[in-house]
Structure 1
Amino acid sequence: MVQYALPHHAISRLVYRASRWRTPFTAALIRAFVQRFGVNLAEAAEPDPAIYPSFNAFFTRALRADVRPLPDDPLAWVSPCDGVLSQFGLAQSGNLIQAKGRDYTVAQLLGGDVALAEQFGHSHYATIYLSPKDYHRVHMPVAGRLVQMIHVPGRLFSVSPATVQQVPELLARNERLVCVFETDWGLMALVLVGAINVAAIETVWAGVVTPPAGQGISSRRYGADTGMQIALDRGQEMGRFNLGSTVVMLLPSACQFASGLFPGMTVKMGQALGGCAQPVAE
């Protein structure tokens, strides 16, 4: 497979710079991209391609406030992003399905942190693939308080459905950012998986987190005892991809999937995908 031999990070660093160039041709490039991939700019807060100073500014565009209403049910959990629901289910013996005939473990996904993985032993998971046409900001499925952020260096294989079916353990091999939150139902993790041409991943509390400054896994704790407290409501933006990729969610066992979901279905940020049990009063 050609992708094994590609200089993933060198290509992505070039894309990082190129996507931020300000040129007289930026608006024309955006219009061509919109037409090629069928981007719905009517949903954007700014629908005029000429307004965006760079391609990355367009790619990370905000939506109009009225186009993704949250469900009225306060116990409903929602999709964190636009995309395709490629896989979902219950983590069986710590295993997650990547594609038919291919799986990987929660511990691998979390950068080898076995103790943390054990806390997600009975979690539900969902994998959402963001295609080029999608809105590329990531939001909270439920309200949560950030307790840990882990950056895991790795390869940058494409995360297209075809590649995911071919490369073993791809989602646990690519560079990724693991964000662990405490919720009213237990721990939740949002894992933002990098891919080739994904020039950077950002969070609302730390800014650009990738490309990495070093080669090893890095971790930072959050909470009252650290002096850094981050609390985000359901539907609030938590991060974004500078060019597209995949989000893997690990949800508390008390948060169940709705009926009628199926692999390959298109989902939208803010769409109810299930419900959580009533939290136990302390």
Structure 2
Amino acid sequence: MDLRESPEDQDRTIVAFYKAHQKNWAGPLNCRLEGDTAIGEGVTRFFFSICMQKLRSGFSLNCGNANITRLFEGEPDYLVPSSSSLLVDSDLFQMAGRMLGHCFLHGGPGFVGMSQAILHVLLGGSPDVATVTIKDCPDIDIRETITLVIGRTTRQVKQLRKGLKETHLWHLMTERPDVVPLIFPREKDASLTSEAILHAITWPGATDDDSEDEWPVETTSRTTGYLREFIENVSSNDRKELLRFWTGWEVLPRELIVAMTSSKYPTAATCIETLRLPTH
């Protein structure tokens, strides 16, 4: 992916990659960001994070009469596949299934907020007994006919299932239903708390092992205190943005490392999950 290109061209690259046939989705993935010096595992994490964000918020592609093409519509925890026949005919939901499976197999974030009614049908449940609520209908004008929601997404769900099967994740989902909430978490389960992040952090001591410089305890305490205060007071989404800068994606690792630096701005070594804070 070339970061020097326009958002539309970057999204076309992602779509082209996941629409390609006969790929080994379970195999190792080596990513390179053209126009950026970053290398290693952090780049791969960044790529998967971008893919999952695009699935939820839309691609910068004009597939009709809009500059943003959304594959899923609706409110949080009630996202349903778009009813656009153009997207279905373009096999974009099969592509979405590949993206979901590929990301999960590489330890990436899940797809947050899918409608439980859609998941019920995706996993083989009968549409006739799916529990559909008014929020499962993204079109306010036709919420009087919410029972049509499942029927309008049959082809989309079949494509999603096909894409998941191609990544070999489908067998795991059917044999181990307990993993489904990890692949398709609810909003509340995907929230990132300050306690979770702070518990994972290894704070620097008086001496930064990554640098030859020695920092006074007062300087270290003041600088790390700013970070702690930020983590405790911002929203879950802001914490996820911090984690993306820190590690490449919003998945919380077992350990986050904080180090000190004499540089002007904060920097991150995403491959080793290290955030370097300026001391000034």
Considering the TM-score relative to the shorter chain, is it more than 0.5? no
As a proportion of its length, which structure holds more helix?
A: 2
TM-score (norm 2): 0.27
TM-score (norm 1): 0.27
By relative contact order (CA 8 Å, sep 6+), the higher-ranking structure is 1
Larger Cα-atom Rg: 2
